[in-house]
Amino acid sequence: MEERCHDLIDYFNGTLSATDRDAFEAHLATCDDCKQALQEMQDLMLPIAESLPERPIPTGMKSRILGEVLGSTEQGHEPAAAPISKPAVQETNHVSELEAARSKKSKKRVPLGWLMSIAAALILSLGANAYFLSQDKSDPAEEFAMDEVKGMGNFESTASIKGSSMIFTKDDQEFMLVQLKDLPPLKEGELYQLWTIQGDTPRANGVIEQDGEAAAVFPIKGDGTIDAVAITVEPEPDLEKPTGEVVASVAL
Amino acid sequence: MHTQSDESLYHQMRSGDEQALEVLYDKYERLLFSFAHRFTNNDRLSEEVIQEVWMKIWNGRVDFNTDKGKFSSWILTITRNAALDCLRREKRQPTIEVEERDGGYDEPVERTVIQRETATEVRDAVNELKPDQQELIELVYFKGLTQQQISEQLNLPLGTVKTRIRSAIQALRKLLDGRER
């Protein structure tokens, strides 16, 4: 056996360096034994796969994947001229999930008009408790894809606070986005506390320590469906229960 | 209604035909998901792996031609590579163990049960291998270990590993072929 023959498994498993991979491919052209062994390993792939117990497919996987794949087209795929006639592919007798994928794709894209640079904020806020935005206008045509919007609505306020909140998921983590205007001035030591409410139970989930305008993304604590978001003025962050009155709230 | 070959669907898809992509996706969804799951043991990661596979194929980052054998073997190879990459990535990242959420499934339970029974019958082929051969198949195919790692883990001389793997593969091939008859 030649020295290079020892690289077969590592070649098959893709663990060789680029140089060694090239060298092994050159070796393959001359070593029938390795060529045959590699073929045997590859040929076994299908029977092995077919012999596995079938796993139930997660709900909606197809439309998620096709949505992402088709949405990625402009980044690399260069389709040739569109087929002139309708392609003679096998007819599917169910409503095409491509349609579902497409509509899903357009639904989950949120125009940045009212959210401004949320994408930047989201990226920065991952791992941090919150990240606040400057109000720089970004290209309004820009869109930011979230995985799923779980709920959104406008705040109602007893203190003329305006704003909106949205709960969404991104990479399996839930986030709450809030954008607020006309937050009344705070006294020394006070802060705006955000609460996520499930049923009747509030949970402290984010603090805003400024008045005027604010936009922030907070990872949602705990799990379960958030029914509403409320804001109170508190002397300390993240108390067990609200002590101040609700100055704004939104049912989602 | 006629059925097109995978190869011709692939070429249609590569010229931007979304319907051809969907037909191929449908055809391979179950096979690829079960296959990816065998590596990741996790629904979310398996879905990521499959998404990566179709991203690569749709965007032409990998290219199939008939020199590479059958389309089915090729797409499984791409899936296996993506799954092994995913495992390596996960290993590098300190992650919090998250219990897999039951997000619901697309298919009726009945079908799964029937499929499982058939699968169990075939899976016995691997179980019929000698324990050391079973272990080799596991380490090579599903863990993607290097020859050096296998040699260390099984305490075998480096030169012996390849020969042992080959005989394990041939034994499994024989058992699987026997089942098909």
| Alpha-carbon radius of gyration of chain B | 18
Mutation target for A interface from B3, B80, B118: give the one with most A CBs within 10 A: B80
pLDDT tens-digit series, residues B140-174: 888 899 989 999 999 999 888 888 998 999 898 88
pLDDT tens-digit series, residues B61-80: 888 987 778 899 999 999 99
- Sign of the CA dihedral with A230 first, then A172, B51, and B106 last: negative
pLDDT of residue B114: 37
**A52/B33 CB distance under 8 A:** no
pLDDT tens-digit series, residues A1-54: 567 888 888 999 888 999 999 999 999 999 999 999 888 888 888 888 888 888
Q: What is the pTM of this model?
A: 0.56
pLDDT confidence of B49, banded at 50, 70, 90? very high
Q: How far is A47 from chain B (nearest CA, A)?
A: 7
Q: Which residues pair with A203 in a beta bridge?
A: A196
**A65/B77 CB distance under 8 A:** no
Q: Which chain B residue is nearest to residue A171, measuring alpha carbons?
A: B44
Structure tokens at B34: 């079960």
Coil, helix or strand at residue A110:
strand
pLDDT of residue A227: 86
Q: In this prediction, what percent of chain A has a pLDDT beyond 90? A: 16
Average pLDDT over residues A131-153: 52
Lowest mean pLDDT among B43-52, B53-62, B109-118: B109-118
**B144/A13 CB distance under 8 A:** yes
Question: Which residues on chain A are in Cβ contact (under 8 Å) with B49?
Answer: none
- Cβ-in-10-Å burial (0-12, 13-18, 19+) of A48 comes to buried
pLDDT of residue A75: 42
Locate all alpha helices (DSSP H) within chain A, ordered by sequence. 8-12, 18-28, 32-43, 45-50, 61-71, 73-76, 97-107, 118-125
Q: Which residues pair with A215 in a beta bridge?
A: A179
Residue A141 confidence (pLDDT) above 50:
no
Question: Which residues on chain A are in Cβ contact (under 8 Å) with B85?
Answer: 14
pLDDT of residue A108: 38
Distance in angstroms (rounded) separating the CA atoms of residues A122 and A42: 43
pLDDT of residue A218: 83
Average pLDDT over residues A104-118: 40
**A80/B107 CB distance under 8 A:** no
Residue B100 confidence (pLDDT) above 80:
no
pLDDT confidence of A165, banded at 50, 70, 90? confident
**B19/A89 CB distance under 8 A:** yes
Give long-range contacts, CB 8 A cutoff, 24+ apart: B35-42.
B35/A49, B35/A52, B35/B76, B35/B79, B35/B80, B35/B83, B36/B79, B36/B82, B36/B83, B37/A52, B37/A55, B38/A52, B38/B142, B39/B80, B39/B83, B39/B84, B39/B86, B39/B87, B39/B142, B40/B83, B40/B86, B40/B87, B42/B100
Residue A106 confidence (pLDDT) above 70:
no
Q: How far is A231 from chain B (nearest CA, A)?
A: 30
pLDDT of residue B123: 56
pLDDT tens-digit series, residues B8-26: 999 999 999 999 999 999 9
Name which of A9, A44, A61 is nearest B147 (Cβ-Cβ).
A9
**B165/A70 CB distance under 8 A:** no
What does B133-177 look like in DSSP terms, one character per residue?
HHHHHIIIIIS---HHHHHHHHT--HHHHHHHHHHHHHHHHHHHH
Question: Which residues on chain A are in Cβ contact (under 8 Å) with B166?
Answer: 37, 40
**B55/A68 CB distance under 8 A:** yes
Give helix B71-92 / helix B6-14 axis angle, nearest 10°.
Answer: 60
Name which of B116, B144, B146 is nearest A54 (Cβ-Cβ).
B116
Name which of B19, B55, B119 is nearest A87 (Cβ-Cβ).
B19
Lowest mean pLDDT among A211-225, B36-50, B63-77, B162-176: A211-225
Q: How far is A114 from chain B (nearest CA, A)?
A: 31
**B166/A44 CB distance under 8 A:** no
pLDDT confidence of B50, banded at 50, 70, 90? very high
pLDDT of residue A111: 36
Residue A110 confidence (pLDDT) above 80:
no
pLDDT tens-digit series, residues A45-91: 888 888 888 889 999 999 999 999 998 764 444 444 333 333 333 33
**A98/B144 CB distance under 8 A:** no
pLDDT of residue A213: 80
pLDDT of residue A107: 37
**B51/A56 CB distance under 8 A:** no
Q: In this prediction, what percent of chain B has a pLDDT beyond 90? A: 44
Q: How far is CA A13 from the centre of its chain?
A: 30
